[in-house]
Copies of this chain bind each other. A is one copy, B any other.
Amino acid sequence: MTVVTQKMNMIEAINSALDNMLTRDPDIVLLGEDIGFFGGVFRATAGLQKKHGKTRVFDTPISECGIIGAAVGMAAYGLRPVPEIQFADYIYPGLDQLVSEAARLRYRSANDFICPMTVRSPFGGGIFGGQTHSQSPESLFTHVCGIKTVIPSNPYDAKGLLIAAIEDNDPVVFFEPKRIYNGPFSGFYDRPVEPWSKHAGSDVPQDYYRIELGKAATVREGEALTILTYGTMVHVCVAVVMETGIDAEVIDLRTLLPLDIETVEASVKKTGRCMVVHEATRTSGFGAELAALVQERCFYHLEAPVERVTGFDTPYPHSLEWAYFPGPVRITRAMQKLIQE
């Protein structure tokens, strides 16, 4: 069977995943603020209400608690809701329904009720969104047992992972790095913007396909050190590696929980050095868990401590966005330190 692909940016790929799934599975319902007629503030659901009908793709009141709470009830009925939270920064009012309800339902009812729901939400900074349109709260969800956390870094993965997330029988938080919705981002914010079309990840099959959750992708092989990262930072890391010529292995985790520990371990044991890169604030970010795991499991292979390259422990500032962002300078310095030790 020939697979028909099409150049897509991240938003188009997500839209395509949702469209395919709405077509295949009558149980799928999309709900969220402004996602209906308008198609979402980032256009991820554009055209879907018109095509699949108002009872399958609809606007909600501005209540993240209600959105996720209603979705839990829909899931209990037997549907597969895919709620959108307009910005990850606004997920907190719905957090109780997510962590105390969605994440616990299968466990507390011993499988009587399940919650196959995928919460989509744009996250991350780099768009001058200030502190309430830039947050990366992913690590909070990795601490909550019963939820999977998925973060794609390119259109191909976004579609395949989103389909797998929707088909998963457990709740998934699917964070979409909004900085790269329309093009990959090298982190060199003063250079011209690249479109997705020049990136291999923009060749996206029009039809259904899945990328298994819990599998990382090695986006660049290397010997000098291992970089563990995800989302926007994958592109920044690759760009810095190209720029510096340091022979780093770059691993795009794609799923934070459950983590692809095998790929991580094998790489770090090979290179003996490990760096973790994320945009979220440092303290108790997911980098902490990664550093802890790597030193637990690869201790005798490590030539240097695991380095964390992260956002600072401050809110995401508006005008000093690039000073906050873990960009090329921060990454380069950390790489140099790591290989010198």
Contact = CB atoms under 8 A, between A and B. Distances in A.
Question: Quick one: copies of this chain in the complex?
Answer: 2
A-B pairs, top 6 by smallest CB distance, nearest first, are A92-B96, A291-B292, A143-B284, A299-B305, A288-B288, A288-B292
B314 A305 contact: no
A257 interface: yes
Nearest to A91: B96
A100 interface: yes
A283 interface: yes
Contact of A291 (B93, B288, B314): B288
Contact of A314 (B107, B131, B297, B299): B107
Contacts of A315: 104, 107-108, 145-146
Interface SS of chain A = helix
A287, A288, A289, A314 — most chain B CB neighbours (10 Å): A288
Interface string A76-100: 0000000000000100110110011
A287 B295 CA distance: 13
A74 interface: no
Nearest to A143: B284
Contacts of A93: 65, 96
Nearest to A313: B145
B292 A299 contact: no
Given A100-B89, A288-B291, A305-B299, A283 B145 contact: yes
Interface string A228-261: 0000000000000000000000000000010000
A5 interface: no
A141 to B, nearest CB: 9
A142 B313 CA distance: 10
A304 interface: yes
A87 to B, nearest CB: 11
Contacts of A257: 283
Contacts of A295: 291-292, 295, 305-306
A283, A308, A313, A315 — most chain B CB neighbours (10 Å): A283
22 contacts: A65-B93, A92-B95, A93-B96, A95-B95, A95-B96, A104-B315, A107-B314, A108-B131, A139-B284, A142-B284, A143-B281, A143-B283, A145-B283, A284-B286, A288-B288, A288-B289, A291-B295, A292-B306, A292-B308, A295-B295, A295-B306, A296-B305
Interface in A131-146: 131-132, 137, 139-140, 142-143, 145-146
Given A99-B92, A100-B89, A143-B139, A304 B308 contact: no
A285 B142 CA distance: 9
Given A140-B284, A295-B295, 9 more contacts: A92-B99, A93-B96, A100-B132, A140-B143, A146-B315, A288-B289, A291-B296, A292-B308, A296-B305
Contact of A289 (B140, B145, B283, B305): B283
Contact of A287 (B100, B132, B292, B305): B292
